[in-house]
Amino acid sequence: SIWITWKTSTPSSSQVRYGTNSTHLTELATGEEVELSGTYYWHSVQLKGLEANTLYSYQVVSGDKESEVYRFRTAPRQGGTTPMRILLMGDHQIKTRSGYEWLMQAAKRKVEEKYGNVEENINMIMNIGDQVDVGTLEQYEMIHLNKSSLLSPYLPIMTAVGNHETYSDPGMATYAAHYHYEDLEYKGVKSGTENYYAYQIGRILFVVLSTEHTGSEQK
């Protein structure tokens, strides 16, 4: 499965059309909308039952608005030996700094130069923390979401908690509202939170820890 998520400034529906044929999106999934403020509505739709290591096209439908048609490749089969390529990035917390946009552009250019199309040759982006300077909605929209937009329609992004995510959001409510990590598990072990988690893709085990939530429970 994969989560498709987006933000609108007014209430609207949460739907995604998708399929393996970009000109014939035969499947429709609906999800939920959460009001995080009077001008910030967060939409989440989970596409389930997808084939492993397969290209899917999709289009977001929110009220009377439709996105462009984008593509993503699903993860390799768990336990399989399909090679994986991951973009590892992070610490793009500063709103006035353009380094993350430049990094996105450089990564896209280098991937296309070495391998070809991004979504066909990169499996995911892993952000290593400090996606925002402080954990406000304006920061998530203008820094993490906006600065990731060159690649985020095509590549799934996983995140880790940095200390800056806790500033203005000590209970991590804003962080948790944007992500869906609480159900991830590895061999029956899961945290039930967004703060730290583990999961397997292909033959890789990802153990995503939080230095802001130390203690015996995480250990």
> Could you read off the pLDDT of 55-75 as tens digits, one per residue?
999 999 999 999 999 999 999
> Could you read off the pLDDT of 102-146 as tens digits, one per residue?
999 999 999 999 999 999 999 999 999 999 999 999 999 999 999
* pLDDT value for 158: 96
* pLDDT value for 14: 97
Which amino acid is located at 4 in the chain? I
The answer to whether the CB of 190 falls within 8 A of the CB of 183 is yes
pLDDT range class, residue 97, cuts 50, 70, 90: confident
Q: Which residues of 184-210 are buried (b: 16+ CB within 10 A; e: fewer)?
A: beeeeebbebbbbbbbebbeeebebbb
Closest listed residue to residue 152, CA positions, set 81, 60, 61: 60
Burial class (CB in 10 A: 0-12, 13-18, 19+), 56: buried
